[in-house]
Amino acid sequence: MDTERDWIERARQGDQAAFTQLVETYQVPVYNLAYRMLGDPMEAEEAAQETFLRAYRELHRYDPTRKFSAWLLAIAAHHCIDLLRRRRLTWLSLEEETLQAAGWTGPEAGPETDPEQAVEQAEREAQVQALLATLPPDYRMAIVLRYWYDLSYEEIAQMTESTVSAVKSRLFRARRMLARAAQQAGLVPNAPRPASEPA
Amino acid sequence: MNCEEAGLLMMDALDGTLVLSDVNRLEAHLDRCPVCQAEWTALQAVENWLGRAPLVPPAPGFADRVAARLARQNARRRLGGGLVVLAAAALLAFAPLLQGWLLPLPLSPDAEVIRQLARHGLVVVWHTLRGLWIAAHALAAGLDLSLGAAAHAALGALLLFLLGLQSGAYRLRSADRRVQTP
């Protein structure tokens, strides 16, 4: 995209207005990634802003042969994983509480949305975020990049500086963990117990 | 087919890469394995929720907030640069005192010649340039002006030049004092 290349070049030379154009263009994917990873709108806002500030500082390192969006999302992904790892140091497991979606205040539905639909959508969002919260950071990242950004295994591997087989393995385990978390939360029927197992 | 292989085929099915022959094998396994059947149901439900979850936008005004933060960050960086230059200028202004306290006073063999030069205005030139230097940077920092790389390089070169002048002037004064001391 010529316009985008022009914005990048001007931003590299210190043109903040050109950089703001890039922020306008990519704010939704960057914020969404942060929100899906961190699960908290305030933290996501802070992380998304920090992603753009880092991108501005590191623009001279951007390789124009790569997709700008991929480069930007990689910055966001690494930053969010760092935040989650730091958070884990003092984090007690909140899986049970989050699965009940207590007090979740996620994105609000637009004004044009039907109230009933809005409630349904909010519940679905709460379920999704609660399920994501059960995953370790690396697995969560693989799921987010796969489902929200429709990236191939190769693209995810490149973005997370990993291998295709490692990404496949993470996705495999992450999907299974999500399925089990959904079963344990009663969102889907549980697996029947084997006849020999005591009730 | 065992459950482990069925699990791998379920992943292929979710990725849309399962070939027809494996579809039939997987279905046959699911028909007789309630555990895998339950897992497949859960995987499909999760797939459905994730697939329907939209991209969440930030609160309105996000780009403006980033622009404001970027401007603050740049201003802080400029101010930091200005303060460093001011500190260097202050150091330079008080350098003769520091030099007198910290260093022995070497006497140049050409002290008499240099002393003659000093009498012709070297010390005056030095003090004038030093005053200009301090004033320019105090003004730049006060107005929060950005100094480009070229300007910094030029000022750095001027600083070195002034340090050389200062050193020469100081040695002159030292030499002068020694000559006058009986």
Q: DSSP letter string over A41-98?
A: HHHHHHHHHHHHHHHHHTGGG--TTS-HHHHHHHHHHHHHHHHHHHHHTTPPP-HHHH
Q: What is the pLDDT of residue A127?
A: 86
Minimal Cα–Cα distance from A7 to chain B, Å?
A: 15
pLDDT band at A92 (very low <50, low <70, confident <90, very high): very low
Check B62 against A29: CB less than 8 A apart: no
CA A87 to each of CA A43, A91, A137, B65: distance values in angstroms, whole numbers, following the listed order: 11, 6, 11, 25
C-alpha–C-alpha distance, residues A143 and A175, integer Å: 8
Minimal Cα–Cα distance from A12 to chain B, Å?
A: 14
C-alpha–C-alpha distance, residues A106 and A97, integer Å: 16
pLDDT band at B148 (very low <50, low <70, confident <90, very high): low
Q: What is the pLDDT of residues A169-183, one digit of tens each?
A: 999 999 999 999 998
- Contact list in B for residue A148 (CB cut-off 8 A) is 53, 55
Centre a 10 Å sphere on the Cβ of residue B85 and count the other Cβ atoms it contains.
22
Alpha helices in chain B (DSSP H): 3-15, 20-32, 34-52, 62-102, 111-117, 123-142, 149-180
Nearest CA in chain B to A171: B11
**Which of A83-92, A137-146, B28-37 is predicted least confidently?**
A83-92
pLDDT band at B86 (very low <50, low <70, confident <90, very high): low
Chain B, 26 to 55: residues with Cβ < 8 Å from chain A are 34-35, 38-39, 41-43, 45-47, 49-53, 55
Q: What is the pLDDT of residue B165?
A: 67
ipTM of predicted assembly, 2 dp: 0.78
- Contact list in B for residue A171 (CB cut-off 8 A) is 11
Nearest CA in chain B to A183: B42
- Contact list in A for residue B59 (CB cut-off 8 A) is 41, 45
C-alpha–C-alpha distance, residues A195 and B14, integer Å: 30
| Beta-carbon contacts of residue A146 (< 8 Å; ≥ 6 apart) | A156, A171
C-alpha–C-alpha distance, residues A196 and A107, integer Å: 46
Q: What is the pLDDT of residue B138?
A: 62
- Contact list in A for residue B38 (CB cut-off 8 A) is 183, 188-192
- Would you call B69 an interface residue with chain A, using a CB distance cutoff of 8 Å? yes
Q: What percent of chain B has pLDDT over 90?
A: 25
CB contacts < 8 A, A to B, total 114
**Which of A160-174, B39-53, B132-146 is predicted least confidently?**
B132-146
Going from the N-terminus, what domains does chain A have, and what CATH number goes with each? 1-88 (1.10.1740.10), 134-186 (1.10.10.10)
Q: What is the pLDDT of residue B152?
A: 62
To which H or E segment does residue B53 belong?
none
Check A44 against B58: CB less than 8 A apart: yes
C-alpha–C-alpha distance, residues B59 and B56, integer Å: 10
Q: Which two tokens stand for residue B132?
A: 């200009």
Mean pLDDT of B70-89: 73
Check A175 against B14: CB less than 8 A apart: yes
Minimal Cα–Cα distance from A63 to chain B, Å?
A: 22
C-alpha–C-alpha distance, residues B157 and B137, integer Å: 15
Q: What is the pLDDT of residue A197?
A: 45
Check A31 against B65: CB less than 8 A apart: no
pTM of the model: 0.68
B167 in helix, strand or coil? helix
C-alpha–C-alpha distance, residues A70 and B154, integer Å: 40
- Contact list in B for residue A189 (CB cut-off 8 A) is 38, 41-42
Residue B16 amino acid letter: G
B121: nearest Cα among B172, B72, B61, B54: B172
> For residue B132, is pLDDT > 60?
yes
Minimal Cα–Cα distance from A109 to chain B, Å?
A: 10
